[in-house]
């Protein structure tokens, strides 16, 4: 697991870091005089966990947050949790034949990645796979948008996405790529076993090499006028169809 220091901002992001990964929170800065009960709760939890807490002026928080909306809470965080490629196999094995992997092929917008991670956490995915290159990484904006999800699910960064998909297939994972021109409907396939759902980036969708490594391309039926969904919305639809089947 790789670690790098960064500041995170926002009540949800800071509260989640303190609760789920307190050993990696170096200090918490809270707005002086803020009476928000959530901020008081963060202060109590952080002190209980032995984390240094300081009350500072709002202007100081503005400077540290670097343009992010901090809501009166920021934290210096020693780990942007990302998992190594070599850890993905173990995560799939531990899922006992019920792995649900989300693969994002080149998402560029940090708000989209954060929203995808939030849906992934709600759907209790096994892991989220993102490429190391030509895609947004888990940064402060992603962490804030994900409302803490970036702390609670494994995000695996891979050098070669096609090779990763091939390795997943060898583990018995079925790879389904979402593409608007596909013939098969997402709702017609069995998503109850080991499954990876692959979604493309905002501009170009799935890359050619990624498509070639999918077992099947499927589409979300759209009877309306628009022919495509935002990647984070499509992610939510696809993941929760898998959840529905598994329930």
Q: Are residues 94 and 188 in the same domain?
A: yes
Domain span at residue 159 reads 85-246
Q: How many folded domains does the chain comprise? A: 2
The per-residue pLDDT for 8 is: 86
68 within 8 A of 9, measured Cβ to Cβ = yes
What element of type H or E holds 157?
Answer: strand 155-158
CATH number of the domain bearing residue 71? 3.30.1330.30
Q: Mean pLDDT of successive 10-residue segments in the chain (247 residues)? A: 67 89 87 91 94 93 86 82 86 96 94 95 96 84 77 90 97 96 95 97 89 96 81 96 96
Residues contributing to the annotated binding site: 200, 220, 229
Residue 239 lies in a domain: yes
Residue 1 lies in a domain: no
Question: Is the sign of the CA dihedral 176, 88, 138, 73 positive or negative?
Answer: positive
Q: Are residues 72 and 91 in the same domain?
A: no
For residue 169, the SS3 value is helix
Q: Are residues 54 and 98 in the same domain?
A: no
113 within 8 A of 157, measured Cβ to Cβ = no
Residues contributing to the annotated binding site for S-adenosyl-L-methionine: 200, 220, 229
Q: Are residues 69 and 98 in the same domain?
A: no
Domain boundary among 48, 77, 106: 77
User: How far is it, in rounded angstroms, from Cα 188 to Cα 166?
Assistant: 24
| Nearest of 214, 161, 205, 210 to residue 181 by alpha carbon | 205
Q: Are residues 94 and 65 in the same domain?
A: no
Q: Are residues 181 and 216 in the same domain?
A: yes
Q: Are residues 40 and 123 in the same domain?
A: no
Q: Are residues 54 and 170 in the same domain?
A: no
* Residues contacting residue 36 through CB under 8 Å, at least 6 positions apart: 11, 71, 72
Residue 147 lies in a domain: yes
The per-residue pLDDT for 82 is: 67
Q: Are residues 25 and 102 in the same domain?
A: no
Residue 186 lies in a domain: yes
User: How far is it, in rounded angstroms, from Cα 124 to Cα 243?
Assistant: 9
CB 220: neighbour CB atoms within 10 A?
Answer: 18
If you ran DSSP here, which 8-state letter would residue 229 be given? -
The per-residue pLDDT for 186 is: 97
Maximum Cα–Cα distance for the chain, whole Å? 59
pTM for the whole structure: 0.74
CATH number of the domain bearing residue 214? 3.40.1280.10
Residue 97 lies in a domain: yes
Residue 24 lies in a domain: yes
């Amino acid at each position: 697991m790789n670690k790098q220091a960064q500041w995170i901002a926002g009540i949800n992001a800071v509260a989640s870091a303190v609760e789920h990964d307190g050993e990696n929170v170096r200090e918490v800065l809270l707005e002086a005089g803020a009476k928000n009960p959530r901020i008081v709760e963060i202060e109590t939890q952080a002190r209980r966990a032995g984390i240094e807490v300081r009350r500072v002026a709002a202007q100081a928080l503005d400077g540290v947050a670097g343009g992010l909306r901090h809501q009166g809470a920021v934290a210096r965080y020693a780990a942007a949790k990302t998992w190594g490629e070599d850890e993905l196999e173990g995560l799939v094995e531990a899922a006992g034949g019920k792995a649900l992997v989300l693969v994002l092929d080149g998402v560029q917008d940090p708000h989209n990645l954060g929203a995808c991670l939030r849906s992934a956490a709600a759907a209790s995915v096994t892991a989220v796979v993102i490429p190391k290159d030509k895609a947004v990484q888990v940064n402060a904006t992603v962490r804030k948008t994900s409302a803490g999800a970036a702390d609670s699910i494994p995000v695996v960064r891979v050098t070669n996405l096609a090779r990763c998909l091939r390795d997943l297939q060898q583990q018995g994972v079925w790879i389904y790529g979402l593409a608007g021109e596909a013939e098969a409907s997402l709702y017609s396939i069995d998503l109850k076993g080991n499954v990876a759902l692959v979604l493309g980036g905002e501009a170009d969708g799935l890359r050619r090499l990624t498509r070639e490594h999918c077992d099947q391309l499927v589409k979300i039926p759209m009877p309306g006028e628009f022919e495509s969904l935002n990647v984070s919305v499509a992610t939510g639809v696809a993941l929760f169809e898998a959840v529905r089947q598994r329930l």
